């Protein structure tokens, strides 16, 4: 089995894949330690592992992964991937963005793809039907936009999402004006990308992932595929690609 680890700023997402590439289980850790790796390796017959991290890598975790795996990959800009990376500065490209693109390409091969990762920031990346990663854009995420309005003004309040609330077209009070401005702004932003790419690309699909993906998708009119494990799926494909090297 393959152990895939996506270590972010606030949490670590884990997935176990079998030899056929099917996810058999997944976990989320607030704090992920070497002891957690040991426990996972005792519960599952882990053969290979991959770690992607946007924070400082825990040496103890890496040492256990090396020891408990036949093949361990520490994913960085130099790691071979099964798509072509056309980014001008590969060193600065977020590993999660590249892994998500690999995952989308695996799930929808031979299609032009828009990959949206709606986390702290919202990233928009484009992958051609030939598997060429052509780059993308970075915008403030949902919570970041609410916090910016609060922190950069003197009187506007901090608005929090109520998933049950219907988003008005125009707010009739300050709370609803901020809520509608942020949520509908993101919706129009995403739909604008989709419409632009649909006119320029044949056989086009959109994937969305990330912590805010489900909420954002519920407010979209366009057809979008929600895949919350897109980065982990991509990491498993990158690991499989390196096993044949």
Question: Which pLDDT band holds residue 211 (cuts at 50, 70, 90)?
Answer: confident
Question: Which pLDDT band holds residue 72 (cuts at 50, 70, 90)?
Answer: very high
Pairing of strands 112-118, 121-127: antiparallel
Mean pLDDT of the chain, nearest integer = 92
- pLDDT given for residue 165 in this prediction: 83
* % of the chain exceeding 70 in pLDDT: 100
pLDDT digits (tens, 9 = 90+) for 139-185: 999 999 999 999 999 999 999 888 888 888 999 999 999 999 999 99
pLDDT at 235 over 90: yes
Q: Which among 5, 6, 4, 2 has a CA at the least distance from the CA of 18?
A: 2
Residues annotated catalytic, as ranges:
96
pTM above 0.85, yes or no: yes
Ordered strands of the 48-53 beta sheet: 23-29, 12-17, 2-7, 48-53, 71-74
The torsion angles phi and psi of 178, rounded to 5 degrees, stand at -70, -45
pLDDT digits (tens, 9 = 90+) for 173-195: 999 999 999 999 999 999 999 99
């Amino acid at each position: 089995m393959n152990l895939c680890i996506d270590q972010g700023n606030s949490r670590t997402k884990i997935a176990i894949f079998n030899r056929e590439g099917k996810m058999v289980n997944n976990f989320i850790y607030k704090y992920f330690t070497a002891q957690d790796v040991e426990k996972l390796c005792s519960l599952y017959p882990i053969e290979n592992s991959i770690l992607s991290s946007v924070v400082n890598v825990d040496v103890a975790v890496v040492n256990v992964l090396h020891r408990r795996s036949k093949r361990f990959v520490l994913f960085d800009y130099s790691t071979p991937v099964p798509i072509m990376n056309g980014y001008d500065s590969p060193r600065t490209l977020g590993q999660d963005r590249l892994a998500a693109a690999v995952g989308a390409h695996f799930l929808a091969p031979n299609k032009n793809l828009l990959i949206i990762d709606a986390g702290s920031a919202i990233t928009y990346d484009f992958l051609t039907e030939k598997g060429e990663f052509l780059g993308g854009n970075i915008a403030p995420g949902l919570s970041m936009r609410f916090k910016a309005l609060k922190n950069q003004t003197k009187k506007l309040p901090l608005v929090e999402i109520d998933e049950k609330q219907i988003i008005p077209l125009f707010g009739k009070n300050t709370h609803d004006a901020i809520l509608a401005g942020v949520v509908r702004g993101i919706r129009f932003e995403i739909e604008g990308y989709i419409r632009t790419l649909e006119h320029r690309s044949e056989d086009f699909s959109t994937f969305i992932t990330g912590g805010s993906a489900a909420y954002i998708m519920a407010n979209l009119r366009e057809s979008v595929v929600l895949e919350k494990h897109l980065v982990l799926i991509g990491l498993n494909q990158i690991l499989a690609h390196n096993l044949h090297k």
